[in-house]
Chain A
Amino acid sequence: MADEADKKAAPEKPKPAGYFEGETMTRRTVFALGGQALGGAAVAAVALPTVGFALAPIFDRPEETWEGVGSPDDFTSDTYRQAVITIVDGVGDTGKTTVYIRRGSEDLGEDPDVFIAISNRCAHLGCPVRFVRAAGTFICPCHGGVYDFEGKVSGGPPVRPLDRFQTRITDDTLEIGPRYSVTNSLEPVRARDPGEFTGGIWEYLYPPRFTVPPAP
């Protein structure tokens, strides 16, 4: 009994500084939360720009470049001619790629005034393919991918036809422009990396990238 009486008699804890009736947060809590918030803001002010700096190239689309490869009369419809173009500036040979160019073939139902520029980048994993004139096919040295005269897959692991480049004629010079990919029925789509399917549901599973222009 005496104990309980002592408890009642014990003086109440002194109120902390700044206490007022009906407060929902002590001053200590306010300062703790405020300090955390300030620290978080300071971290975000440094971290967000830094991460954005590293991620920026994902959202950057380089300017389209067009490069002349010669007179349109140099190209025929029955075979390809090679040309080397620069797709990335300032990195020497690394930025160059080979293009196989021909005129549209009436036998294949194409307009003879249209030029077809096929990329030598294999649609499997990106090795350089070579056009074998005797067989009329493109052959990849890495994993045995084979493409027919139009660049459609005729054997091996590639998942889609060879990519193409846009073409135009300026001042009687054939110019090669941005790359685009094609579906199995040669419908143009936005440029894709090798190894990615095109057409149908794959257009959603491989969403459009910001770094490449839309399909022509």
Chain B
Amino acid sequence: MPKIPIPKALQKPAKPGTRSNGAEANGAPGDNGDAVKTDEKRDTRPDLVETAKEGGIDVVGWVDERTGASPFLTGMLLRKVPKGTNWFYTLGSATLFAFVVQALTGVFLAMYYVPSATQAYSSITHLTNDVFLGEFVRGLHKWGATVMVILIFLHMGRTFFFGAYKYPRELNWVIGVVLLILTMVMGLTGYLLPFDQRSYWATIVAMNITGSGPVMGPYLADFLRAGAEFGGTTLPRFYAVHMLLVPGLIIALIGAHLYLVVKLGTTAPPWMRAEPKPKSLREHSVGAGTNGQPNGDRGDE
């Protein structure tokens, strides 16, 4: 396999206590690299491939020198994961991918959609029937929403059954629950946008359920509808919440969620047992007999 040229800034840092240059850390013996260099010296013309590789490395180095981002990137990308990490651990990334798909398709759907009570339905039929691949992009957005909710629950189940919500990761569980609620808000507000009979009546029912909450309910329903009846500003209101307010919150919270995942690390599956420490590292083997030994043992001596 050809060696991938990884800029030194992004290479795995050497273990503490070992002295090595970049080539060794990358898995290639040092003398091999020297051999390549001597070969290059014979041909005075620069090798195009090598130049291209060096160019990429130079660019990374240039950016790194000005941002200092490489410790963050290597710390995140090359972080250790516990033994036993398996496919269930990909559910969070899968949810993130589903969100990115929703965000991208949503942006493109917004290019054709008109959030007005009199034009919404016709703009939807236009983008579905007339626009090139419109049905496909709308289908991605519609079914992707369902896939995202399913993935969230699978991800949540993984976290719960693997005990990954326990100390010190409780806050990340809480952030995850807020993200789940926000995703549900996305589902609710997005459901109205096609503005057919089903979405209209489903939204009427949803807002009336909101209104039946005591004390605050009636005002909350008025806020969602922008008035006592479903009116001309209700649909734009849902549209703004669906594509501006809630996505912004979701992106911010995903950032916090991922930060904590990287900061705290992931958990091993519950069936993995901690490996016993080698005898030389066990505490009682150091200075045995003088400190911390049970009295009973000493009595036998």
A-side residues, CB < 8 A to B, are 54-55, 57-58, 60, 62, 87-92, 94-95, 125-127, 142, 191-196, 205-207, 209-212
* Structural contact, B118 and A92, CB atoms closer than 8 A: yes
Q: Is B208's CB within 8 Å of the partner chain A? A: yes
A211 and B217 contacting across the interface, CB-CB below 8 Å: no
Cβ–Cβ contact B218 & A196, under 8 A: yes
Does B227 count as interface, using CB distance less than 8 angstroms? yes
Contacts of B205 in A (CB 8 A): 125-127, 142
List the B residue with the shortest CB-CB distance to A54: B223
* Interface status of B173 (Cβ within 8 A of chain A): no
- In this complex, how many residues of chain B approach chain A with their Cβ under 8 Å: the count is 28
Asked whether B231 lies within 8 Å of A88 as measured between CB atoms, the reply is yes
Give which listed residue, B207, B208, B218, B227, contacts A206 with CB less than 8 A.
B218
A47 to B242 Cα, complex, angstroms? 21
Per-position binary interface string of chain B over residues 57-79, scored 1 when its CB falls under 8 Å from any chain A CB and 0 otherwise: 00000000000000000000000
B215 touches A207 (CB 8 A): yes
Chain A residues near B228: list those with CB within 8 A.
Answer: 62, 191, 209, 211-212
Picked from B117, B209, B215, B222, the residue with its CB within 8 Å of the CB of A91 is B117
Binary A-proximity of B272-295 (CB < 8 A = 1, otherwise 0): 000000000000000000000000
> 6 shortest A-B CB distances, which residue pairs?
A195-B212, A193-B211, A91-B117, A211-B228, A57-B226, A205-B214
* Bound form: Cα–Cα A186–B25 in Å: 84
Asked if A196 meets B215 with Cβ closer than 8 Å, knowing A87-B229, A91-B118, the reply is: no
Does B218 lie within 8 Å of A207, measured CB to CB?
yes
Task: Determine the distance from Cα of A95 to Cα of B230 in the docked complex, in whole angstroms.
Answer: 7
Q: Hey, which chain B residues are within 8 Å of A127, CB to CB?
A: 201, 204-205
**A212 — which chain B residues lie within 8 A by C-beta?**
228
B222 near A57: Cβ-Cβ < 8 Å: yes
In the complex, chain B residues whose CB is within 8 Å of the CB of A91: 117-118, 230-232
8 examples of A-B residue contacts, CB within 8 angstroms: A55-B223, A57-B226, A88-B231, A91-B232, A127-B201, A142-B201, A192-B211, A194-B211
What's the minimum C-beta distance from A97 to chain B, rounded to whole angstroms?
9
CB distance from B219 to the nearest CB of A (A): 6
Q: Distance in Å from the Cβ of B198 to the closest Cβ of chain A?
A: 12
Cβ-based interface call for B162 (8 A) = no
